[in-house]
Amino acid sequence: MDEELNVTYITFDGHVEINKYRYVYFFILFTLYILITCSNSIIIYLILIHKNLHEPMYIFIAALLLNVVIYSTTIYPKLLIDFLSEKQIISYSACLFQFFIIYSLGCSEFFLLAAMAYDRYVAICKPLQYPTIMRKSTVSIFLVIAWLVPASNIAVQAIGMAKSKLCSFHLKSIFCNNTIYTLQCCLKSEFIAVFGLVCMLDLGILPLLFILYTYTKIFLMSYRSCKEIRKKAAETCLPHLSVLISFSCLGVYDVVITRVESDFPKTARLIMTLQLALYHPLFNPFVYGLKMKEISKHLKRLFSPPPKI
């Protein structure tokens, strides 16, 4: 009984007219969750079962889409429960865990996109050395780094926040995103401020700069090469760049939203917050399913009607 009394609960204040539209919200979000899970899982399944897709680029894509499935599963079930509940609350420890999973996977995406950029750089700029550079061991190392480095950094942040005193118990969001920092009494303390900047540099800015540098080298190389190489570069690099631009824009919003004052319109805040949970998880399978030729080919075979006898 004492343990129950000591549990700290956080109230989500980001919902708009939930009592009026709770069943509409539930139906729309449930449908989208099924769509996100199925679309990403189908492409992961195709990459796993087809040997011609067992290449570094497609392995990184599968890892990226697996991140999306876990990310969505971390957010959507709780959202759906909240829509049908009288009170939209979560324990502070569960909120920190949700924060940890969301941002570990989010930062992991930058690392995976960086690995894809390097893979494309070697394939286009150093094609003869590609088999010796991008070996299975190299791919495994990239995957371990992409998942372990962000997780360890975000874990330190989460532990630091768990030990901090709370001055507010109302979160201006519908799930535990970056606005969790506004609950802290020591929002501007040395630890949170300095370590937050270090994480932003290590997990976001440095991978982004590496990606931009790598693609600049690729496009310069392609520009000086024949038409076939330029076509190959466009087909394999543009999907990754479109995902990078989409994710970077949403990431910038997620960082900026913690600095926005309370007079920011609640409906606009809800719409923008939902982009993180809706747009990007659907955008990834759409881009890779339609723009990557080999994946698109297998998707057509999977959903094409059987031949008439």
Could you give all domains of the chain from N- to C-terminal order, each with its CATH number? 7-291 (1.20.1070.10)
pLDDT value for 4 = 45
What band does 252 get if pLDDT is binned at 50, 70 and 90?
confident
Mean pLDDT of 80-108: 89
Q: How much is the pLDDT for 125?
A: 83
CA distances, 20 to each of 23, 77, 106, 163 (Å) = 8, 20, 32, 37
Which of 16-25, 60-69, 70-79 shows the lowest per-residue confidence on average (mean pLDDT)? 16-25
Helix axis angle, 136-162 to 92-125, nearest 10°: 150
177, 182, 187, 188 alpha-carbon torsion, rounded to 10°: 100
* pLDDT tens-digit series, residues 28-47: 999 999 999 998 999 999 89
What single letter denotes the amino acid at residue 289?
Answer: G
Q: What is the pLDDT of residues 186-226, one digit of tens each?
A: 654 555 656 666 777 777 788 888 888 888 888 887 777 67
Half-sphere exposure of 255 (CA within 13 A, CB side): 16
* Distance in angstroms (rounded) separating the CA atoms of residues 250 and 290: 22
Q: What percent of the chain has a predicted confidence (pLDDT) above 70?
A: 83
Q: What is the pLDDT of residue 156?
A: 84
Q: Is the pLDDT of residue 133 over 80?
A: yes
